Amino acid sequence: MPELTYLEALRQGMWEEMARDERVFILGEDVGIYGGAFKVTEGFFEKFGASRVIDTPISEAAIVGAAAGAAHMGLRPVAEMQFIDFISCAYDMLTNYVATARYRAGLSTPIVVRGPSGGFVRGGPFHSQMPEAAFFHTPGLKLVAPATVRDAKGLIKAAIRDDDPVIYLEHKFLYRRIKENIPEGEDIITPIGKARIAREGKDLTIVTYSAMVWKSLEAAEQIEKEDGASVEVIDLRTLLPMDDAAIIASVKKTNRALVVHEDTRTGGIAGEIIARINEQAFEWLDAPVMRVTAHDTPIPYAPTLEDFVLPQAQDVVKAARWLLAY
Amino acid sequence: MTAGTVPASTIPAGLNREQLLEIYYFLRLTRSLEERLVNLYRQSKVIGGLYRSLGQEGESVASAYALRPGDILSPLIRNLGSMLVRGAKPVEVLRQYMAKATSPTKGRELNIHFNDLQLGYLGQISHLGDMVPVMAGIALSFKLRKETRVGLVYVGDGATSAGAFHEGINFAAVQHLPLVVIVEHNGFSYSTPTSRQTAVERLAVKAKGYGIPGVTVDGNDVLAVYEVTRDAVERARVGGGTTLIEVVTYRRKGHAEHDDQRYQSKDEIAKWEGNDPVDRYVETLQKNGWADSTILAAIDARVTGQLDQAVAECENDPLPSIDTALTEVFANPPSAERLWFRDA
Ligand SMILES: Cc1ncc(C[n+]2csc(CCOP(=O)(O)OP(=O)(O)O)c2C)c(N)n1
Ligand SMILES: [Mg+2]
């Protein structure tokens, strides 16, 4: 079984879908000959040609809008944002045009908008963002955020096959840092809307996604070793539609919950997750549901500042201990 | 000038000899500062990416030099030279790249993303095109207050594709604002050749669509860029409105230091190396008898000394303390809350 990085798994997933379905095509800035700023689409131009791997002008609104139009006509575009931070330039297209298309007009818009998100790479305020909250709030968009190599592949394939618009948030810190054996030829599809138990436990549930899955697992190990408590980690994988059943089942088992995300606190999706736990599992709770998030500032450039602003494994440990002792 | 050399010919564009030498100083300072940054980058002292302007220093320096005190420009990533002309200090740039606590943004922002509105520059954000509307607003403030000040904004050939560019330049044009928009036609946006960015050959023709004058100038001819920019700036100053200037140049380095430039032809790079703006300027100075090699060497030595000092001054500065991580988010209350799970 070949060992793949997260980035290679994403690439392989797109590659297989392009090979399988001629309606699938890629568009974005520098995705062609250059293979993308992070080389996610390396080799695609040579294999699939200029008509299916389209280098676009620096026009995020046009990239997403054109993807939508092509999708209405039965194509399956995968649009790359060079950094996900630039998706804000396509906010209008995504939230007003794309998200409402099915409800208001009965139009199918099967597009994927993907791009490198997240911090811990010293990228400063405009190359480090987690943009999910703005789109999470907009009915009509699906959101996925893989944490593992397997899901990097499984979710891109599922997103491309989905009949609705999907925003696929890959984490650039994970690109080349994690590896996994992925069986060749196996059609790996991670169903959209299904969370995964990343680690089983019985004393506390951590609900998280993307790179924070790894920090949460690190914290869980430490607590097991040092405190003897057993922590369950739920990797959401899909943020919208959210897998309430998986979250609630775990909380009913452990009676304590902590939500961890890399995005800032205020208006971050942890608030919504906590509300759902309150609505659906209040009587099972032995402690208030808490959250560990980034501080409410832009993401600063200097390592000292970035490490302070973003959530760390030790924050998860501290919050988990507080909950376990409650 | 020693006796016996050719008599100096008249200096064009209303410049004098001191100004010619000052322009040379800024060209040399820009290039040498970037070379220092490359060394620091290789030693991993530059925290993030490094973006060179090799081959484009001429247009940056010359266009900024056409401004007067009180005017304000907004640079792009490759306009280090423009920032230096407006008074940004090499040590500030070094500190920014190295994310030092002492940097103008206290380590919050990177490279040349910083401002000094008194000196006359407003730092960019990464989102391309965004500074065009913002600079239209700066120019609007000049107009509303009846000040004879001018704004200048740089935008890449690639960034002319961004919606914000269109909205901003159109706003400036229709409001008849004192704004000069310099479009840097340097052949590429990252790996994408200009021919895949726009269907026009000359970016200056876009001006027609906004109803403003558009000019194209050889971006590697320092004096030509100076003259064209000065004309546009002075026209804007007396109520003549917005101008688009296309400077034709070439990006000889990759998008950033990590870029292998696989998509650029070696011949083309070599061709443009032979059209280097600094070399050309030196030749012009010497050929016309406006400067000799002794005086230029003295300027080079001065630059070297200043940069030695600047690097020594900041190399060992500390990174920002975490006490500054949450401050100045608002005017009032200034700080973001320190979250409960974070150990003191
Ligand atoms: C809205 C937006 N989209 C994408 C990017 C990523 N990006 C940064 S620089 C660049 C190329 C810029 O090319 P150009 O405007 O020609 O300027 P140059 O680098 O040639 O000076 C791209 C695509 C960005 N910064 N902003
Ligand atoms: Mg360019």
pLDDT band at B267 (very low <50, low <70, confident <90, very high): very high
Edge-to-edge strands, sheet with A231-235: A196-199, A231-235, A204-208, A257-264, A290-294
Supply the pLDDT for residue A123.
96
Check A296 against B101: CB less than 8 A apart.
no
* Mean pLDDT of all residues in B277-299: 97
Place of tokens 């200034």: B334
Interface of B with A in 19-78 (CB under 8 A): 47-48
Residues with CB under 6 A from ligand 1: A 29, 58, 60, 82, 86, 89; B 76, 78, 126-128, 156-159, 162, 184, 186, 188-190, 251, 255
| Distance (Å, whole) CA B69 – CA B4 | 39
pLDDT band at B6 (very low <50, low <70, confident <90, very high): low
* Mean pLDDT of all residues in B260-271: 95
pLDDT band at B334 (very low <50, low <70, confident <90, very high): confident
Which residues of chain A form CATH 3.40.50.970? 3-181
Report the run of H or E that residue B152 belongs to, with start and end.
strand B151-156
A168: closest CA among A96, A267, A67?
A: A67
Chain segment A249-301, per-residue pLDDT in tens: 999 999 999 999 999 999 999 999 999 999 999 999 999 999 999 999 999 99
Instruction: Give, as residue ranges, everything with CB less than 5 Å from ion ligand 2.
Output: B 156-158, 186, 189
Query: Does residue A123 sit at the B interface (CB-CB below 8 Å)?
Result: yes
* Mean pLDDT of all residues in B232-248: 98
Q: Which of A59, A293, A309 lies closest to B162 in CB terms?
A: A59
Supply the pLDDT for residue B174.
98
Pocket test of ligand 1: the residue of B128, B161, B191, B196 to mutate, having most ligand atoms within 8 Å of its CB, is B128
**Do residues B190 and B160 make contact, with C-beta atoms less than 8 angstroms apart?**
no
Chain segment A160-199, per-residue pLDDT in tens: 999 999 999 999 999 999 999 998 777 899 999 999 999 9
Supply the pLDDT for residue A26.
98
* Mean pLDDT of all residues in B111-115: 97
B155 CA from centroid of ligand 2 (Å): 8
Check A295 against B163: CB less than 8 A apart.
no
Place of tokens 């040399």: B28
Supply the pLDDT for residue A183.
82
**Do residues A114 and A77 make contact, with C-beta atoms less than 8 angstroms apart?**
no
Does residue B3 have a pLDDT over 90?
Answer: no
Number of CB pairs, chain A paired with chain B, less than 8 A apart? 136
ipTM for the predicted complex: 0.95
Does residue B5 have a pLDDT over 90?
Answer: no
**Quick one: fold of A3-181?**
Rossmann fold (3.40.50)
Supply the pLDDT for residue B294.
98
Nearest ligand to the CA atom of B155: 1
Report the run of H or E that residue A290 belongs to, with start and end.
strand A290-294
Supply the pLDDT for residue B125.
97
Check B127 against A88: CB less than 8 A apart.
yes
B178: closest CA among B213, B152, B203?
A: B152
Query: Does residue B241 sit at the A interface (CB-CB below 8 Å)?
Result: no
Query: Does residue B131 sit at the A interface (CB-CB below 8 Å)?
Result: no
Chain segment A227-250, per-residue pLDDT in tens: 999 999 999 999 999 999 999 999
| Distance (Å, whole) CA A36 – CA A29 | 7
Residue B115 CA: distances (Å) to CA of B62, B125, B320 = 20, 11, 19
Check B107 against A302: CB less than 8 A apart.
yes
Which residues of chain A form CATH 3.40.50.920? 196-324
A129: closest CA among A172, A65, A176, A174?
A: A172
Question: Which chain B residue is nearest to residue A126, measuring alpha carbons?
Answer: B126
* CATH superfamily of the B3-338 domain: Thiamin diphosphate (ThDP)-binding fold, Pyr/PP domains (3.40.50.970)
Query: Which residues of chain B make contact with A29, given a CB cutoff of 8 A?
Result: 189-190, 192
Share of chain A above pLDDT 90, in %: 98
> Could you tell me which CATH number the domain at A196-324 has?
3.40.50.920
Interface of B with A in 295-314 (CB under 8 A): none
Query: Which residues of chain A make contact with B108, given a CB cutoff of 8 A?
Result: 124-125, 298, 300-302, 305
| Distance (Å, whole) CA A7 – CA A5 | 5
Chain segment A123-174, per-residue pLDDT in tens: 999 999 999 999 999 999 999 999 999 999 999 999 999 999 999 999 999 9
Contacts of A152 (CB under 8 A, 6+ apart): A6, A7, A9, A10, A13, A146, A170, A174
Interface test with B, best of A40, A53, A58 (most B CBs within 10 A): A58
CA A158 distance to own-chain centroid: 13
Supply the pLDDT for residue B15.
96
**DSSP 8-state class, residue B195:** G
Residue nearest to atom 19 of ligand 1 (CA): B189
Question: Residue A110 is encoded by which pair of tokens?
Answer: 């099967």
Check A318 against B101: CB less than 8 A apart.
no
Does residue A62 have a pLDDT over 50?
Answer: yes
* pTM for the whole structure: 0.97
Check A305 against B322: CB less than 8 A apart.
yes
Check B325 against A61: CB less than 8 A apart.
no
**DSSP 8-state class, residue B32:** H
Residue nearest to atom 11 of ligand 1 (CA): B189
A184-203 as b/e: b if 16+ CB within 10 A: eeeebebebbebbebbebeb
Query: Does residue A245 sit at the B interface (CB-CB below 8 Å)?
Result: no
Supply the pLDDT for residue A1.
67
| Distance (Å, whole) CA B334 – CA B327 | 6
Chain segment B40-92, per-residue pLDDT in tens: 999 999 999 999 999 999 999 999 999 999 999 999 999 999 999 999 999 99
Let me know the angle formed at the C-alpha of A231 by A226 and A233, rounded to the nearest 5 degrees. Answer: 135
Domain ranges of chain B: 3-338
Nearest ligand to the CA atom of B185: 2
Query: Does residue A266 sit at the B interface (CB-CB below 8 Å)?
Result: no
The catalytic site residues of A sit at 127
Does residue B344 have a pLDDT over 80?
Answer: no
| Distance (Å, whole) CA A210 – CA A239 | 10
